[in-house]
């Protein structure tokens, strides 16, 4: 009995490490791609509108892949699908570097977006399985590792540009290293759960899961808004250089990572709904400080509170969706992921539209609506 228990713990620990590695691979891939967008733009002589079209294709391909990935993990198991999609993501990233025209780049980016988006659903499904069969929460930490390695991927891309590596050289080197991690992650003896009965490919979230989807929509909208508009907001309010203005986003990103690393322990102790509720208070106080303060150093504290408060929402929403009693794990994850990515895509555009007509203070103030929703509907994560 003791030996069987020890063996079960060892299998769980290996699966946990494998999921962490997978989230790290996904983050590195995204960070590597993002870091070389300017290089690809210059290399192919793209106009701004052409680049915008390519990025739109990336987002649309990602969203389109969600229900397909959800169906696949229900039918074949999250661990198996995650393994295939990890390799598809690495291969498609390499293909991007060989694109010699805007059309070729668009096709390669569509494949990359679909692979990475589908991987996002599958690895969250696998992470939820591992968390469910373990003795502690891990979902927030997994998303923290994604954020960390996206930053590392971006940093490596910056260094690659500094030493004049071509995009092909950069992506081949990074994928060669990451492939070793992918091989390690594939060597895990994990039998995932599957759903045998036929089910719709996409199910509109029912009952409380709808509120969870809107919770993730608001958090993603706020996160995307800070990424795209924070530096502009503080530049217009304070006399700052562009480099100094970027400090607001850097503080926010660090706070998101810190909040996710710490969240799991609090979830085990107090529950997901209470952690999200406290996060709602922190994020609401944070954005209020940002909007009202006339001191830049205090505004940075606001970005810190905002990041910590928003940090646990997305991973806790994924965990809740994968365990919903009314839909399959694949359906649940696909539906809330669609809400989340919808927030990321629509947020910056909506804020831009409002800013154009009423000013940056009102536009950025829309984040307050998102944090108030988090504060009011955190109970949906129970």
Rounded average pLDDT over 92-120? 90
Check whether 147 has a pLDDT greater than 60.
yes
State the pLDDT at residue 190.
60
Question: Does residue 140 carry a pLDDT above 70?
Answer: yes
Any idea which architecture 208-381 has in CATH? Up-down Bundle (1.20)
Which band of pLDDT confidence, cut at 50, 70 and 90, is reported for residue 263?
confident
Mean pLDDT of the residues in the chain: 81
> What is the pLDDT, as a whole number, of residue 37?
78
State pLDDT tens for residues 314-329. 888 877 877 776 777 7
CATH code 1.20.1250.20 for 2-186: yes
Predicted confidence (pLDDT) at residue 257 exceeds the cutoff of 70:
yes
In the chain, what is the greatest distance between 2 CA atoms, to the nearest angstrom?
69
- 241 phi, psi to nearest 5 deg: -75, 165
pLDDT level of residue 150 (50, 70, 90 thresholds): confident
Q: Kindly list the domain boundaries of the chain, sorted by start residue.
A: 2-186, 208-381
Which tens digits make up the pLDDT trace of 37-50? 778 888 888 776 77
Q: How confident is the model at residue 92 (pLDDT cuts 50, 70, 90)?
A: very high
């Amino acid at each position: 009995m003791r030996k069987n228990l020890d063996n079960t713990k060892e299998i769980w620990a290996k699966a946990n490490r494998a999921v962490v590695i997978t989230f790290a691979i996904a983050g590195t891939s995204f960070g590597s791609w993002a870091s070389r967008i300017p290089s690809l733009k210059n290399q192919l002589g793209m106009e701004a509108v052409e680049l915008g079209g390519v990025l739109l294709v990336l987002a649309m391909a990602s969203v389109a892949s969600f229900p397909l990935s959800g169906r696949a993990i229900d039918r074949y198991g999250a661990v198996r699908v995650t393994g295939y999609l990890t390799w598809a993501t690495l291969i498609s990233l390499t293909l991007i570097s060989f694109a010699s025209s805007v059309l070729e780049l668009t096709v390669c980016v569509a494949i990359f977006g679909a692979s990475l988006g589908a991987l996002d659903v599958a690895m969250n499904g696998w992470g939820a399985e591992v968390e469910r069969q373990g003795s502690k929460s891990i979902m927030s930490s997994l998303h923290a590792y994604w954020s960390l390695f996206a930053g590392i991927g971006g940093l490596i891309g910056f260094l690659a540009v500094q030493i004049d590596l071509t995009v092909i050289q950069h992506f081949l080197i990074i994928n060669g290293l990451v492939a070793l991690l992918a091989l390690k992650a594939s060597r895990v003896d994990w039998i995932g759960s599957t759903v045998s009965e036929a089910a719709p490919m996409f199910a509109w979230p029912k009952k409380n899961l709808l509120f969870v989807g809107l919770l993730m929509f608001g958090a993603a909208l706020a996160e995307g808004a800070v990424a795209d508009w924070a530096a502009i907001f503080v530049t217009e309010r304070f006399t700052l250089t562009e480099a100094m203005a970027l400090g607001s986003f850097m503080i926010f990103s660090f706070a998101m990572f810190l909040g996710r690393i710490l969240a799991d322990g609090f979830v085990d102790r107090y529950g997901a709904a209470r952690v999200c509720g406290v996060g709602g208070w922190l994020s609401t106080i944070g954005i209020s400080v940002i909007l009202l303060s006339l001191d830049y150093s205090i505004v940075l504290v606001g970005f810190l509170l905002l990041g910590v408060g928003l940090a646990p929402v997305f991973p806790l929403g994924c965990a809740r969706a994968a365990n919903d009693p009314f839909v399959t794990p694949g359906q649940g994850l696909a539906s809330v992921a669609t809400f989340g990515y919808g927030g990321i895509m629509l947020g910056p555009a909506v804020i831009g539209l409002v800013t154009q007509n009423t000013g940056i203070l009102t536009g950025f103030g829309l984040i307050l609506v998102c944090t108030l929703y988090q504060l009011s509907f955190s109970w949906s994560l129970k």
